[in-house]
Amino acid sequence: MRLRGASGLAAAILAAAILSGCAPTPDIDVQTSSSLQASVVSIADAAADDPASALALLDALAAEVDAAVAQGEITEDRSTQIDEAIAAVRADLQAAVDAVATSDITPSEETDSADTSDESNGNKGGNGKDKSNNGKGND
């Protein structure tokens, strides 16, 4: 299924943004990195079955990143990379949520609302010709 593959790729990009860069001066705190990585795993797990839930988890991750920046645990440069990855994942998940929403319309709902034929004429076509008595009446 495309949702699983696209969400998995997006989560991998997000994980790479969080974990990349081994500079002499770290641009992300080790504990913060571990915490964010755990959040990414949760998002990836949820994305496969419930993209709306994954979006909520992504919002929590974004808030966690903002808090870590405010506390000096993530540099602005790293935060920018992570925010860009979050935006990519968000777009992917939103597309998945939209796809699920449009596929929730069942064929019976479509035909029930579109069915305007008059079956009171004794046939399903509503053309007045009842094949059982060839339109001759009820003798």
User: What pLDDT was estimated at residue 3?
Assistant: 45
Asked whether residue 55 is assigned to any structural domain, the reply reads yes
Residue 11, in any domain of the structure: yes
Residue entry with tokens 């993209």 = 51
pTM over 0.75: no
**Spatial separation of the C-alpha atoms in residues 43 and 38, rounded to whole Å:** 9
- Give residue 70's domain range: 2-105
The answer to whether residue 83 is domain-embedded is yes
How many structural domains does the chain have? 1
50 is a domain residue: yes
Name the region of 50 (left: φ>0; alpha: ψ -120 to 50; beta: rest).
beta
Q: Is residue 68 part of a domain?
A: yes
Instruction: Indicate which CATH number applies to the domain containing 25.
Output: 1.20.1440
> Does any domain span residue 125?
no
Q: What is the pLDDT of residues 12-64, one digit of tens each?
A: 666 666 655 555 567 888 899 889 989 998 998 898 889 999 999 999 999 99
49 in a structural domain: yes
Contact 56, 15 (CB under 8 A): no
Q: Read off the pLDDT of residues 64-123 as tens digits, 9 standing for 90 and up.
A: 999 999 999 999 999 999 999 999 899 999 998 998 888 776 565 555 555 555 555 555
CA quadruple 62, 68, 70, 71: dihedral, nearest 10: 170
Q: Is residue 117 part of a domain?
A: no
